[in-house]
C-alpha cells in the first residue's frame, strides 16, 4: 500500500540505472515487486516488466492488478506474449483472459499452440466459482509401479514447471486417480520401495469434481488441512489440482460475499475493488433491496394507521415505537448471524433446528426479562408516561425480543432447506418482519390493557 521502501527503486528507475534496478528486483519477493509496479505509470510498468529476470516475470505478472496486466498485455509484442503465456500457470492465464478486452484475448490465443488453446477454451467454459474454474493442470503425476527412486527422478525432471510438487498424485493407465503420496514420505522412504506400497489409497484421499462449487472445495481443504486437492472429471480421471493458496482467497471471497448479503448488498464477486467501482454500479448493487424493504414497510405504516385512535391520546406509546423496533431488530439479527455463521461453517445443520429453537427460546427469555425490567425502571425514572403505559411497553419489549429471536433462528434454517443462501436472512431482512410483528403485539397489548 505505502510507497516507503520503494524510494530507492524509484530513484534507480528515474536515473535509468537498469542493471542496478534489475539486481535489486532479483532479490525481492514477487508480491513486493508487483506492489512496486502498481504504483508506476503504464510506460514505467512495461519498462520494469521487461527488465525483470525471465524466471520471475510470470510470477510477478500473476500478482499484478488487472489494470497493470491489461496495460502490459496490450503493449507486449507477440513474442513477449507467447513467452509470458508459456511461463504462466494455466489458471493464471485463464484469470488474465477473463479480465482483458476481447481483441487482446484473440491476440493471446493466436500466440499459443492449438493444444493450449483447446485447454484454455475448456477452462473458460467451466461455470464461475466451480472447482474446474479455479484448478490448475500443473501437477505431478506418478505411476504406482514406479520405485521411489524413479519417482524422485521424475519429479526432478518435470517438477520445475509444476504449481506444487509436495503432494504427488498416482494414476493408472486410464488416468484414473488411485492414490497420492507426499514428497516428505518419498524423501523419507527407501529408494527401492514401490510407490504403490507407500501411497495413501482412495479411502484416505479427498478429491472433488470439476463442477463442484468452490465453497465445497474450501470446506474440504479446511477440514482435512490439505496443501492441495485433486480435481476429477465426470469419469473420475485426474484433470487438475487446487492449491491451498487459492483456497485462502476463496475463503476470503466467500466470507466477503456472506457479509455483503447479510447487509443487503448484491455480492460484487470478482469485481473491481471498491475504490475503482463506478458509483452507478455501487448504487445498482444496493438499490434493489432498499426498495423491496421500503415497500414492505408499507405494512408497518398500515398497522400504525389502524391504531390511530389508540395512539392519538397517548404520546408515550408513540415515543416508544423506535426503541421497541430497534431492540427487536437487534435481538433478531444477533440470533440470525449466529445461526447463519454456524450453518456456513458446518457446526449446525437444518436437522438441529429444534435444539436451536429451544436454546434461543431460553436465551430470549433471559434477555427479554432483563431488558423489560430495565426499560420499566428507565421509563418510570424519566416519567415517560403513566405506570400502565410503562408496563405495557415493557411487556411488549419482552414479547418482541422473544419473537425476534425465534424468527431470527427460523428464517436462516428455512432458507437452507429451500436451498437459498441463509446469509440473505440476516439483520435487515429480519428487522422488517420483526417490526411488523412487534407493532402488532405492542398495540394489541395496549388496547387490551389501556382501553
- SS3 percent helix, strand, coil of the chain, rounded to 5, is 70, 10, 25
CB of 391 to a copy of itself, least distance (A): 16
Report 177-196 residues binding a copy of itself (CB under 8 A): 183-184, 187-188
H or E element at residue 68: helix 66-75
Residues composing the chain:
451
CB of 250 to a copy of itself, least distance (A): 11
Report 192-231 residues binding a copy of itself (CB under 8 A): 201, 203-206, 221-227
| In contact, 227 and 167? CB cutoff 8 Å | yes
| In contact, 254 and 215? CB cutoff 8 Å | yes
Name every residue whose Cβ is closer than 8 Å to that of residue 209 and which is 6 or more positions away in sequence: 131, 231, 232, 233, 234
Q: Which is nearer to a copy of itself, 29 or 121 (CB)?
A: 29
| In contact, 111 and 77? CB cutoff 8 Å | no
Distance of CA 111 to the CA centre of its chain: 34
Q: Is the dihedral of CA 432, 438, 441, 445 positive or negative?
A: negative
Q: What's 64's DSSP letter?
A: S
Q: Which is nearer to a copy of itself, 4 or 125 (CB)?
A: 4
Q: Which residues of 391-403 are buried (b: 16+ CB within 10 A; e: fewer)?
A: bbbbbbbbbbbbb
Candidate segments 9-17, 104-112, 208-216, 245-253, binder of a copy of itself by CB under 8 A: 245-253
Q: Which is nearer to a copy of itself, 121 or 318 (CB)?
A: 318
CB of 239 to a copy of itself, least distance (A): 22
Report 140-179 residues binding a copy of itself (CB under 8 A): 152, 155-156, 159-160, 165-166
- Among positions 136, 210, 375, 410, the unique one binding a copy of itself when judged by CB under 8 A: 375
Secondary structure (DSSP) of 81-104:
HHHHHHHS-HHHHHHHHHHS-HHH
Q: Which is nearer to a copy of itself, 104 or 391 (CB)?
A: 391
CB of 54 to a copy of itself, least distance (A): 17
- Among positions 305, 418, 419, 448, the unique one binding a copy of itself when judged by CB under 8 A: 305
User: What values do phi and psi take at 172, rounded to 5?
Assistant: -95, -170
Candidate segments 82-90, 103-111, 123-131, 301-309, binder of a copy of itself by CB under 8 A: 301-309
Question: Considering the rule CB under 8 A, would residue 269 count as an interface residue with a copy of itself?
Answer: no
- Among positions 6, 10, 22, 28, the unique one binding a copy of itself when judged by CB under 8 A: 28
Secondary structure (DSSP) of 254-308:
HHHHHHHHHTTPPP-TT---GGGS-HHHHHHHHHHHHHHHHHHTHHHHHHHHHTH
Q: Which is nearer to a copy of itself, 223 or 237 (CB)?
A: 223
CB of 321 to a copy of itself, least distance (A): 6
Q: What's 412's DSSP letter?
A: H
Between CA 145 and CA 50 the distance in angstroms is 44
CB of 163 to a copy of itself, least distance (A): 10
Candidate segments 9-17, 141-149, 286-294, 413-421, binder of a copy of itself by CB under 8 A: 286-294
| In contact, 445 and 393? CB cutoff 8 Å | no
Q: Which is nearer to a copy of itself, 119 or 251 (CB)?
A: 251
Question: Considering the rule CB under 8 A, would residue 7 count as an interface residue with a copy of itself?
Answer: no
Q: Which is nearer to a copy of itself, 295 or 388 (CB)?
A: 295
Please list the alpha-helical segments (H only) found in 173-243: 183-188, 195-198, 214-224
- Among positions 4, 16, 27, 448, the unique one binding a copy of itself when judged by CB under 8 A: 27
CB of 212 to a copy of itself, least distance (A): 17
Q: Which is nearer to a copy of itself, 73 or 325 (CB)?
A: 325
Q: Which residue has the cell 414497510?
A: 297
Question: Considering the rule CB under 8 A, would residue 297 count as an interface residue with a copy of itself?
Answer: yes
Report 312-351 residues binding a copy of itself (CB under 8 A): 312, 315-316, 318-323, 325-327, 329-331, 333-334, 336-338, 341-342, 345-349
Report 45-104 residues binding a copy of itself (CB under 8 A): none
Report 398-417 residues binding a copy of itself (CB under 8 A): 401
Between CA 185 and CA 166 the distance in angstroms is 10
Between CA 197 and CA 194 the distance in angstroms is 5
Report 99-138 residues binding a copy of itself (CB under 8 A): none
- What Rg do the C-alpha atoms of the chain give, in angstroms? 30
Amino acid at each position: 500500500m505505502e510507497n516507503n521502501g520503494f524510494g530507492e527503486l524509484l530513484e534507480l528507475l528515474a536515473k535509468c540505472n537498469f542493471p542496478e534496478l534489475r539486481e535489486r528486483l532479483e532479490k525481492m519477493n514477487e508480491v513486493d515487486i508487483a506492489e512496486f509496479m502498481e504504483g508506476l505509470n503504464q510506460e514505467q510498468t512495461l519498462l520494469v516488466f521487461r527488465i525483470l529476470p525471465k524466471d520471475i516475470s510470470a510470477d510477478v505478472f500473476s500478482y499484478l492488478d488487472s489494470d497493470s496486466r491489461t496495460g502490459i498485455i496490450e503493449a507486449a509484442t507477440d513474442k513477449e506474449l507467447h513467452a509470458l503465456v508459456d511461463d504462466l500457470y494455466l489458471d493464471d492465464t485463464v484469470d488474465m483472459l477473463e479480465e482483458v478486452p476481447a481483441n487482446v484475448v484473440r491476440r493471446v490465443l493466436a500466440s499459443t499452440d492449438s493444444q493450449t488453446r483447446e485447454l484454455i477454451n475448456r477452462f473458460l467454459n467451466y461455470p464461475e466459482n466451480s472447482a474446474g474454474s479455479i484448478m490448475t493442470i500443473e501437477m505431478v503425476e506418478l505411476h504406482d509401479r514406479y520405485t521411489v527412486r524413479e519417482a524422485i527422478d521424475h519429479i526432478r525432471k518435470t517438477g520445475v514447471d509444476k504449481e506444487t510438487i509436495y503432494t504427488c498424485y498416482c494414476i493408472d493407465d486410464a488416468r484414473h486417480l488411485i492414490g497420492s503420496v507426499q514428497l516428505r514420505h518419498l524423501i523419507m522412504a527407501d529408494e527401492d520401495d514401490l510407490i504403490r506400497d507407500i501411497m495413501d489409497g482412495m479411502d484416505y484421499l479427498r478429491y472433488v469434481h470439476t463442477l463442484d462449487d468452490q465453497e465445497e472445495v474450501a470446506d474440504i481443504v479446511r477440514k482435512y488441512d490439505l496443501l492441495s486437492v485433486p480435481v476429477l472429471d465426470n469419469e473420475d480421471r485426474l484433470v487438475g489440482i487446487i492449491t491451498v493458496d487459492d483456497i485462502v482467497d476463496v475463503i476470503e471471497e466467500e466470507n466477503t460475499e456472506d457479509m455483503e448479503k447479510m447487509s443487503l448488498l448484491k455480492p460484487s464477486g470478482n469485481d473491481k475493488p471498491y475504490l475503482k467501482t463506478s458509483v452507478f454500479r455501487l448504487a445498482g448493487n444496493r438499490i434493489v433491496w432498499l426498495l423491496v424493504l421500503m415497500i414492505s414497510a408499507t405494512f408497518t405504516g398500515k398497522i400504525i394507521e389502524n391504531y390511530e385512535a389508540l395512539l392519538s391520546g397517548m404520546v408515550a406509546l408513540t415515543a416508544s415505537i423506535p426503541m421497541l423496533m430497534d431492540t427487536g431488530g437487534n435481538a433478531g439479527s444477533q440470533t440470525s448471524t449466529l445461526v447463519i455463521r454456524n450453518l456456513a461453517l458446518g457446526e449446525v445443520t437444518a436437522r438441529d433446528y429444534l435444539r436451536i429453537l429451544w436454546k434461543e427460546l431460553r436465551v430470549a427469555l433471559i434477555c427479554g426479562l432483563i431488558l423489560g425490567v430495565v426499560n420499566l425502571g428507565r421509563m418510570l425514572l424519566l416519567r415517560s408516561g403513566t405506570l400502565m403505559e410503562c408496563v405495557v411497553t415493557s411487556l411488549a419489549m419482552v414479547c418482541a425480543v422473544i419473537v425476534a429471536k425465534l424468527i431470527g433462528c427460523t428464517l436462516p434454517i428455512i432458507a437452507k432447506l429451500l436451498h437459498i443462501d441463509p446469509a440473505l436472512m440476516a439483520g435487515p431482512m429480519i428487522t422488517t418482519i420483526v417490526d411488523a410483528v412487534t407493532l402488532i403485539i405492542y398495540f394489541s397489548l395496549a388496547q387490551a390493557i389501556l382501553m
